[in-house]
Structure 1
Amino acid sequence: MRGVNTDSRRVTRRGAAARLAVPGGVLAAVVGAFAYVAAVDPHEPGHYPACPLLQLTGLYCPGCGGLRSAHAFAHGDLAAALQNNAAAVLGYLAFAALWTVWVVRAACGRPLRLDPGPAHLWTVGALLLVFTVVRNLPFGGWLHP
């Protein structure tokens, strides 16, 4: 065909594959971690270390119940995942959305630029703090893992 440069198409395809390698690797690592947690039940003692804050103080940290939440999420039990750690489930969903944006931008040749301002970071920190405090109060028992 006239005017068509097949070499530039190969370079473009190779470039797209290279741009998607890192998001693909991150997805493979996350899927591997979820597969492991799905296979090795955190409800059975001895498979994972206990939370040091819970052991020392009896208080639930923001991550307490995260492995049980991931196990339930991997098995499709959204209600149990939310009950074990609602903040973790929001984190899984936020990761999925961010990863999707990353892949689309990488496929288009545009970098993913994350530049959360101080207000965003303080908001996330405050929400995690409120979650942690409420789950340790008597009326927050529904947030216990």
Structure 2
Amino acid sequence: MGIATTERRGTDRVRRLLAPLGVAAGVGAAFAVVGVVDPNEPGHYPTCPFLWLTGLYCPGCGTMRTMHALAHLDPVAALGLNPLAVAMIPFLLFWWGRWVLRAWQGRPRRTTLAHPAWLWAFIAVVMVYWVVRNLPVGAFLAP
């Protein structure tokens, strides 16, 4: 095996890692902005369109304030704002890590994120969360 082959493998590996590392850079930049620009202060970010139109909370309501709380190392406040968003972080990190590993190894990307049963279960959890957080019994889930 020659030097050119080794250099080509290294170049290919770097090229394959560009997409997952680009996603990490974008998410990191957004996390930094939300960490610095407080979403609790009015006028910095737009209002949730669903909340504005209906007066009800969507599953994502409170997520920016949750990320702001996590950026300031306050997980208790983050859980109080949007526990579903906090619960999703380990899963998102797992899928991103799996993407990086597959890119590093040169294995093709999978065409499916997860088994359809898991995706349907996730959709069901989000729908139940959406309904319950707008009921009096689920007021503790409201941001």
State the TM-score, normalized to the length of structure 1.
0.91
2:70 aligned with 1:73: yes
Aligned partner of 2:128 in structure 1 is: 130
SS in 1 for 2:133: helix
Aligned partner of 2:93 in structure 1 is: 96
Q: CA RMSD in A?
A: 1.4
2:140 & 2:28 partners in 1: Cα distance?
29
1:142 & 1:84 partners in 2: Cα distance?
9
Map Cα deviations across residues 9-57 of structure 1 (whole Å, 9 max, x no partner).
Answer: 1111111111111111111000001001001000000001111222232
1:98 & 1:77 partners in 2: Cα distance?
24
2:127 & 2:20 partners in 1: Cα distance?
30
Larger radius of gyration: 1
Consecutive unaligned residues in structure 1, runs of 5 or more = none
Aligned sequence identity (%):
49
State the TM-score, normalized to the length of structure 2.
0.92
Aligned partner of 2:27 in structure 1 is: 30
Consecutive unaligned residues in structure 2, runs of 5 or more = none
Count of residues paired in the alignment: 142
